Structure 1
Amino acid sequence: MPVPYFRKFEGNFPQTASAMSARREAVWHLLAGITVGLGAYYLWWRWTQSLNPDALLFSTAVALAETAAYLGSLLFFYDIWREDDTPWQSPPTTRREACLEGDGSITVDLFITTYDEEVDVVEPSVLDALKLVVPKQTRLTIHVLDDGDRPIIAQMAKRHGVNYISRQENTGFKAGNLRNALFRTSGDFLVICDADTRVLPGMLMNTLGYFRAPDVAWVQTPHWFYDIPEGQDWARWLAARKIPFPNVLASLFRFASGKARVGADPYLSNSGLFFDVIQRRRNRHGASFCCGAGSIHRREAIFENALQQKSNAVRRLSQKTGAEPRSVAGTQSLQPYRFHVSEDIYTSILLHSDSTRHWRSVYHPGPQARMLSPWSIDAWTTQKLKYAGGTFDIMLRANPLFRRGMKWQTKLHYLATFWSYLGVLWMPVLLLAPVVAMFTGIAPVEAYSLAFFLHLVPLLVANELAVSVGCKQHDPGPGRLLAIATLPIQLRAFVMVLRGKRPRFPPTPKTPGSRAEYRRVYPNIAVLALFIAAAIVGVLNYLRGAEGFTEPVLIVNLFWLGWNALAMVRAILAAGWTDPEPQSQSHAGVEADAVVHA
């Protein structure tokens, strides 16, 4: 049996996420305020003084896209405005302290969901779950939920003394798998794990204390990928290929690529910005949404909300048909965990909009589990398509913005998520604007004059400083590149949902790619070719003195094309990436919250 690829990363553990200092937060707020003001001033100037009258439609389209991007920045700034962690408490030792009825022990069910993952992926998750430190007066039961109904997984579960739950069909995919297990278990709290979720020993000790508050429905912990390739030093990589002047070229490549090491994080899987900045700061309003794996749920909240949803469905159907509610009730099933590709965020929306119990979530900032990142372009595109398709489907068919029970602060957080995906409507305009300019010599502004740069450059500088300070030690650059690189995937998901197709995607593959696979990035390759053609045509037009091709037009649009092209190149390089170093490349870190919160 070959050794699983992720074994070489066994020594990797997450480091404790640091809180934002009051001084840094004050600087962030100052810079954010300056950026908002400069952005408003720039847009006022764009709409009142800089539209190109000779190409009004083109100029207006670009100005609209810039306005939409500015609104996205406002929502992002709101999203991450302030960090306010929920004070940690020790685990409850009685059912009353956990806001539970009855006597006896507090019971916890840990679900490990699997469908087609290899035993080598699932078994380490089971073994790490068995190492959990269980608080006093708490009883833990581990369940392997096998939607593939495989004897080999059943045997593995029996060998380690954990419960095995399967079903004959996989209706509802992961949501259906969870629902099936919910009706066959009875734990007061549920820990949700994917097949590759390897919990750290202190997970229960660090999270159960939040449930001392009766309105806490679930606790979300960060996703931390322990197998992200660290890459190889540029100089060493160049020297191994006998390229002259490796040290000199290494500095150039580091600057051009924006990456300190070649092959590092090829799929931009580092999720620190999303979890340690966005999710963590949504916690100030109890609005961090559930991300599935690594979350702990109060069973009462799930079932109580399911009963409420059933009651609402019965009432609506009764009013529509004129039938008695009792006769209608039997036709409506109880639906904890809706059958949806994004059952986690769907459940979050239902609970956050519960006007009766006012459920809230808590975000625990320290990673409590290790997970596997995508290691192939198939896994990467499957994951991104799933995220985008699920989000668009919820946005169009179950939009939380129209739910009466949800607080407006929470709605704005969800709107920030939706707005980032709605970039598919205006990002193409910003991508193609320099292409149009380089082919035609028509600029989206009246002129690339001194006034243009005086309005734009201060805004760009202020925004860069604000985001850099606001995001702490996390680099926002990869996220920006990812937004552009995944645009073809998001467009595909958007069109699919608009056509009425419900997202139905398989689990993200947990196997590494063995060879380059470019078919997944054909759209990116086509767009990159268009960028290169536009750059060549623009330069040639400038050299022959064509009308409209001035030096400012050439410089601005070449820079614009270069940034957009870099994002496309990142996706294409990811498609060609394979593990270059089969030997160990891991570095042991500091295990976050290993036993108990410090």
Structure 2
Amino acid sequence: MVVQTTVRRETTRRENHRRRRSSSRRQGVVRLIVVLAAIAGINYVAWRWLFSVNWDAWWIAVPLVLAETYSLIDSLLFGLGAWRLRERHDAPPLRHDVTVDVLVTTYNEPLDLVMKTARAAQAITYPHETWILDDGDRPELRALAEAEGIGVISRSDAWRDRPRHAKAGNLNNALMVTEGEFLLILDADQVPDPRILDRTLGWFEDEKVALVQTPQWFVNVPPSDPLGSQAPLFYGPIQQSKDGWNAAFFCGSNAILRREALMQLGVSRYVGEVTVAVNRAVRSSRRILARARRDYRHDPRILSALDEVSAALDDVKAELAHGEGLSDITFRFQRRIDAVRAMMAGQDIQSVRAELAELAELTLDAATLAAIDDITLESLHDRSLSPLAAVESISMLVDAFEVGREGEAQAIMPLATISVTEDMATSMRLHGLGWRSVYHDEVLAKGLAPDDLPTMLTQRLRWAQGTMQVMFRENPLVQPGLSLGQRLMYFSTMWSYLSGFAAIVYVAAPVLNLSFGTMPVIAFSFDFFIRFIPFFVLNQLLFLVVANGRPTWRGAQYSLALFPVWIRSVTSAFDNVYRGRTLAFSVTPKTRTLEDRPRWDLVRPQLFVMAAMILSLIVVAIRYAAGQAEGIAPLVNIAWVLYDLAVFSIIIRAVLYAASPHPELKEN
């Protein structure tokens, strides 16, 4: 037995050494291509701006060169990530026991699907507690789960009539009623491998690791992957590239998180947000006081009260600067405001008493006066607002310094609630606090991908909207605590969703040239091709080498063909963040809704684009026959249109795709 163990260890050591050497050689090749692609790209785009823009057709020439500039930045960000592409292998051994809660999140998924995942979670070999987080609070699910010894957590009454924050709120609620040192988060359809914790917990031997993310892999996707669900490039080289910069991020499921890190994040965010709110309130209060001083500049009594409020604000600023506790600062401030209000109300009451006494001498008997005194004056004491406008302003200050978050179900919200997806913002904030993340590239849970076009579009839109909300609210380029590499890695993901606008230009330019002879480039000369071809070829080569055998074509198709989704995600997120418009949250359906007909209406913009491209080919053929088309420019644009048609052809397949049933997903 000892000999066998020694042999196995030696074999493992040699295999790991071989892997490291292979990774090192591949990394060298990747870095060489990154440098060459960057040089070629910068050379091409600089030349385009300086020498080849056709200003006579500026309305399409400038958008085209802007789109090419966008693509260059996208390429540079991809290359920067690939520069540190990190291929991890086995996690180090776990040297001490830890406690783990496995959390299965659900809202309205079928009971058998949720229970299948929960049973698999319960069967995980490492000791743990299994919980179903039922956001639908279904009695039938609770009965099924508890009959098998599986815990169920639903929202408390504290969430009633308050923002629910979708999945983030569900997880935040569970964090307050569970105790495990680590949390494995699973979506309702992600069936875990029994070894998932054994294979990943060792990474947490590094006490600064807060997150270990594993891939999402789907069992109901055919080899052709017509809906582009598997994302082999993202759940592989892209996450590995981000991992090299300590920027691998949380993807919502199949991830293990350290509770300590989440709770630190929740507390620090609470303190930071309240501090910002208090500072904002102090600034607003100065303006309120200045206005009150102008309105009551002839009333020494009110001016004296406002001086007291101003002194209280000065003390708040000083105490904040010295780092004193927020609750103590705000409590003392509120008490001082209460004292000012009581003093002024008392003075007002004495004045009213004197007026009532004069009135009683003229018209009222003693009994009537006593009734007025007992009722009216008592109510004046109980009022939170003084009848004086200045004290109304003071009362507003009291409200502004409320730090209890009465509008929320709980003050501490570790999982980010700033977007319709909780994952990216949470991991970015963790990185900002100095925590580390790990991407463990091993499939340890298998789930269900959308199996029709409507469901796929719902999912992609939600992902994109959530990402853009984070960009608009917490742009990583200006977030404190992140390294430069982390800023750029997060930004690269957000930047990619702007591709919809570039896609419109890339489609329009060749169509306009073939149909009307419009030239956005001065000439497709030798100078053009000697710069463009190296840029294009080196970028394609970089993708192939980084992918290391993983298919990339389907992802390339959808990055262009879903341009309406990407544009809608940007505009709707912008409206939500900056204009306050509602952005509805939709849970991705886990069961197919059968349609009587293909949903061509969902891809109407793409169909119009494809029709325009086909029509442009017909028009250019007529122009050739009439002698109106000549030179190399039409040939270049014909090739361009044919390539775009090949890309957009995936939309036809997606509309016609009908997933077949998968028996392995059903309960035995």
1:192 paired to 2:147: no
CA contact (8 A) 2:232 2:552 kept: no
C-alpha contact (below 8 Å) 2:498/2:567 kept by paired residues: no
Kindly provide the amino acid, as one letter, of the partner of residue 41 in structure 2: G
Q: What's the counterpart of residue 35 of structure 1?
A: 37
Q: Is the 8 A contact 2:102 2:186 kept in 1?
A: yes
Give 1:504 deviation, angstroms: 2.7
Match of 1:320 in 2: 280
Distance 1:543 1:384, change over 3 A: same
Aligned to 2:513: 437
Counting only pairs closer than 5 Å after superposition, residues 125-524 of structure 1 correspond to structure 2 as 125-134=117-126, 139-167=127-155, 171-230=164-223, 264-322=224-282, 325-326=326-327, 327=330, 328-331=402-405, 333-339=411-417, 340-354=419-433, 358-500=434-576, 501-515=581-595, 516-524=598-606
In our comparison, the structure showing a higher alpha carbon Rg is 2
Q: Distance in 1 between matches of 2:200 and 2:219?
A: 21
Alpha carbons of structure 1 residues 268 and 204: separation in structure 2 relative to 1, 3 Å: same
Moved over 4 A (4+): 581-586
Deviation of the 1:498 alpha carbon: 2.2
Deviations 1:513-546 (A, max 9, x none): 5342222212221222222222222222222122
Q: Distance in 2 between matches of 1:58 and 1:409?
A: 34
Partner letter of residue 572 of structure 2? M
Whole-Å separation in 2 of the counterparts to 1:190 and 1:313: 25
Instruction: Give 2:46's match in structure 1, choosing from 44, 47, 55.
Output: 44
Structure 1: which 5+ residue stretches go unaligned? 1-15, 95-105, 231-263, 587-598
How many angstroms apart in 2 are the aligned matches of 1:582 and 1:69?
40
Shift of 1:351: 0.9
Tell me how far apart the structure 2 counterparts of residues 211 and 491 of structure 1 sit (CA, whole Å).
Answer: 39
Distance 1:424 1:283 in 2: 27
Check the 8 A contact 1:513/1:578 in 2, yes or no: no
Cα shift at 1:555:
1.7
In 2, the alpha carbon distance for the partners of 1:448 and 1:514 equals: 49
The structural deviation recorded for 1:45 is 2.5
Q: Which amino acid aligns with 1:309?
A: R
Find the counterpart in structure 1 of residue 388 from structure 2. none
25-34 vs 68-77, which moves further: 25-34
Q: What is the rounded CA distance, in whole Å, between the counterparts of 2:469 and 2:661 in structure 1?
A: 40
| TM-score between both structures, scaled by the size of structure 2 | 0.74
**Secondary structure, aligned partner of 1:217:** strand
> Cα offset for 1:451?
3.1
Indicate the SS of the match to 2:108.
coil
Report the 3-state secondary structure (helix = DSSP H, G, I; strand = E; otherwise coil) of the residue aligned with 2:94: coil
Show structure 2 runs of 5+ residues with no match.
1-15, 283-312, 317-325, 331-401
Shift of 1:431: 1.9
Q: CA RMSD in A?
A: 2.2
- The answer as to 2:641 corresponding to 1:561 is yes
| Distance 1:93-1:149 versus aligned 2 partners, 3 A rule | same
Q: How does 1:524-563 map to 2 (within 5 A)?
A: 524-546=606-628, 549-563=629-643
Contact kept in structure 2, 1:542 and 1:554, CA below 8 Å: no
Deviation at 1:584?
7.2
Q: Deviations over 1:9-52 (max 9, x none)?
A: xxxxxxx9x88632222222222222222222222332233222
Whole-Å separation in 1 of the counterparts to 2:664 and 2:100: 36
CA distance in 2, matches of 1:585, 1:162: 23
User: How many percent of aligned residue pairs carry the same amino acid?
Assistant: 33
CA offset at residue 219 of structure 1? 0.9
Cα distance in 2 for residues equivalent to 1:150 and 1:513:
22
Shift of 1:191: 0.7
Check conservation: 1:353, 1:400, Cα contact below 8 A: no
Distance 2:259 2:252 in 1: 15
Q: For residue 120 of structure 1, what is the aligned residue in structure 2?
A: 112
Give the counterpart letter for 1:208 in structure 2: L
The number of aligned residues is 516
Q: CA deviation at 1:509?
A: 0.9
**Whole-Å Cα distance in 2 between the matches of residues 453 and 400 of structure 1?**
36
Give the 3-state SS of the residue equivalent to 2:185 in structure 1: strand
Query: Residues 319 and 584 (structure 1 numbering): CA distance in 2 closer, same or farther, change over 3 Å?
Result: closer
Cα distance in 1, alignment partners of residues 624 and 108 from structure 2: 56
Task: Using the TM superposition, name which of 425-434 and 329-338 deviates more.
Answer: 329-338
- Cα distance in 2 for residues equivalent to 1:221 and 1:426: 32
State the 1:289 CA deviation.
0.7
CA distance in 1, matches of 2:272, 2:537: 51
Greater mean deviation of Cα atoms: 294-303 or 47-56: 47-56
Alpha-carbon distance in 2 for matches of 1:513, 1:556:
43
Matching residue within 102, 107, 121 for 1:110: 102
Distance 1:504 1:53, change over 3 A: closer
